[in-house]
Amino acid sequence: MTDTVQKPEQATVTIGDGVQATVPEPCILVIFGATGDLAQRKLLPALYALAGEGSLPTGFTILGTGRNESDDQTFRATMKKAVHSYSRIGFHEATWADFEQGLCYEQVDPDLPTAMDTLRERLEQIDQKRGTKGNYLFYLAVPPSGFGPLSEMLGKAGLAQAPGKIRRLIVEKPLGHNLASARALNERLHEAFDEDQIFRIDHYLGKETVQNLMVFRFANGIFEPIWNRQYIDHVQITVAESIGIEGRSAYYEESGALRDIVQNHIMQLVAIIGMEAPSNFASETVRDEKVKLLRAVRPIHPDDVLNHTVRGQYAEGTVNGEYVPGYRSESGVNPLSLRETFVAMKLDIDNWRWADTPFYLRAGKRMPKRATEVAIQFRRVPHSPFSGHSLTPSGVLPPNAIDPDVLTIHIQPDEGITLSINAKVPGRSTTIRTVNMDFAYGSAFSTQSPDAYERLLLDCMLGDATLFAREDEVEEAWRFCTAILDGWRAHPPDKVMTPNYAAGSWGPDEAFQFIERDGRQWHRM
């Protein structure tokens, strides 16, 4: 039943940075919801970029499907426009001419009893014509209510399993809205597909800098010995976005910042920063370590939720010099909505490495700028031998007058790593000031980082699940977030105090007070 495909000799290609990369087996990528936003903005441009660098297998075909009647030519024209608008590598007629040969459309209306027969017939025709050998990947780019039914239909039609051939399912969040629904969804998907056939995309895992976090930790000898409670005071993870909800009111009113960013992207970052070193880079070994870490995350008791979390919602304000309306005035949002567009929280990890070393997390829409960062704040020096202006009875600067060292991993937009350390200001007095040692991707490497979807789609074709969320990772992240949601339900936000931060600010005052209570501060970004 499993996705064990006999691997013939695999072809390789030399890509931009001179690296030899494996080319996947010929296959068809079926996209359900192929004319939707995700397909046009992300999937097609990513596949086109892969075509441009020669990473796609011979005969590779995209079969777009949807409820609407259409044909190959119309689909190609729509996708050409999408690639024109969103391609990372620009538009090249010759690449397109070749790429579009592998673009097809078939109307597949899941409400019709013949839907899967139509699909099967078309797949078989493509196999004949393009030599794709019955290898299929099914991407469910449809609303989440379609995940279970479509997967079930594929299963019943016998399309989910075919010994010796590739059959994989690709899904993307929201994967449930709490622990129970996430479990129910996983069970439903498993009725047709085995776990090793399911690829759950979290696009943060496809980001170069997120992958580099693992290389940084485990390919350098100097950081790992100090990567623990003895040397680290606390960790901060910030996902700040200057954009609002971008017309996605129906989704966001249901979701909010916790489900939209924390449950998936931030919990993945927590796992990668906090996990033990895997013994190898095989997908199950890496994911086992991540799950172990997530299991050690202490649940926040619903009665304790107000001490550990802060919710915010943006009011009108100014972002990048432009007026923007408040969340409640966004089209489609309930004018009395209490939905959070900002969340800050403290997360504790109950294991030897991290005991008493909290992770402070925050995510928000309509912040002053777009920036995702991880800041590792080291402990202060235990004693300072330097004399200074604020003298203690012994005549030396107290240790807390010297800033702690901070390692900042800039995930976006300016990808890189900064180590902030203390240095002596030139001159006769011993004046200490913080200086930065910087590594910037842009100047260290000449190659542009690929888009997350390029890496993830290719890995899925190759059957490498390392950068995909396994069912237990998703469920552990939900375990933590569901307890918070339960607590929030029992302690709804103050109607009078909502909204509580101006667009273009760093969130509600309470978020600052919350971390200051612990004698700490959010890093300036």
Where in the sequence numbering do the catalytic residues fall? 265
Decide if residue 451 touches ligand BG6 (CB under 6 A).
no
**Which of these, 406, 372, 379, 419, lies nearest to 269 by C-alpha position?**
372
Q: Which is nearer to ligand BG6, 88 or 165 (CB)?
A: 88
Spatial separation of the C-alpha atoms in residues 299 and 476, rounded to whole Å: 10
Spatial separation of the C-alpha atoms in residues 63 and 204, rounded to whole Å: 26
**Nearest distance, CB of residue 337 and ligand BG6, angstroms:** 16
For residue 342, the SS3 value is strand
Spatial separation of the C-alpha atoms in residues 499 and 501, rounded to whole Å: 6
3-state percent helix, strand, coil for the chain, nearest multiple of 5 = 40, 20, 40
**Nearest distance, CB of residue 372 and ligand BG6, angstroms:** 6
Spatial separation of the C-alpha atoms in residues 454 and 169, rounded to whole Å: 17
**How many chain residues are in contact with ligand BG6, going by CB under 6 A?**
4
Give the C-alpha distances (Å, rounded to integers) separating 145 from 40, 77, 83, 189.
Answer: 21, 29, 28, 12
Spatial separation of the C-alpha atoms in residues 440 and 447, rounded to whole Å: 13
**Given 25, 127, 233, 241, the residue binding ligand BG6 (CB under 6 A):** 241
- Phi then psi for 344, rounded to 5 degrees? -130, 145
Binding mask 356-375 for ligand BG6 (x = CB under 6 A): ----------------x---
**Which of these, 164, 124, 128, 163, lies nearest to 30 by C-alpha position?**
124
Q: Which is nearer to ligand BG6, 204 or 522 (CB)?
A: 204
**Which of these, 264, 189, 307, lies nearest to 476 by C-alpha position?**
264
**Nearest distance, CB of residue 260 and ligand BG6, angstroms:** 5
Q: Which is nearer to ligand BG6, 49 or 349 (CB)?
A: 49
**Nearest distance, CB of residue 252 and ligand BG6, angstroms:** 7
Q: Which is nearer to ligand BG6, 241 or 330 (CB)?
A: 241
Decide if residue 260 touches ligand BG6 (CB under 6 A).
yes
The strand pair at 20-22 and 103-107 is best described as unpaired
Q: Which residues pair with 104 in a beta bridge?
A: 63
Binding mask 202-231 for ligand BG6 (x = CB under 6 A): -x----------------------------
**Nearest distance, CB of residue 410 and ligand BG6, angstroms:** 12
Q: What size, in residues, is the chain?
A: 525
Binding mask 169-208 for ligand BG6 (x = CB under 6 A): ----------------------------------x-----
**Is 158 within 8 Å of 145 (Cβ atoms)?**
no
Q: Which is nearer to ligand BG6, 173 or 308 (CB)?
A: 173
**Nearest distance, CB of residue 453 and ligand BG6, angstroms:** 10
Tell me the residue nearest to ligand BG6 as measured from the CB: 260
Decide if residue 454 touches ligand BG6 (CB under 6 A).
no
Q: Which is nearer to ligand BG6, 241 or 415 (CB)?
A: 241
Give me the residues that bind ligand BG6 (CB under 6 A), please.
Answer: 203, 241, 260, 372
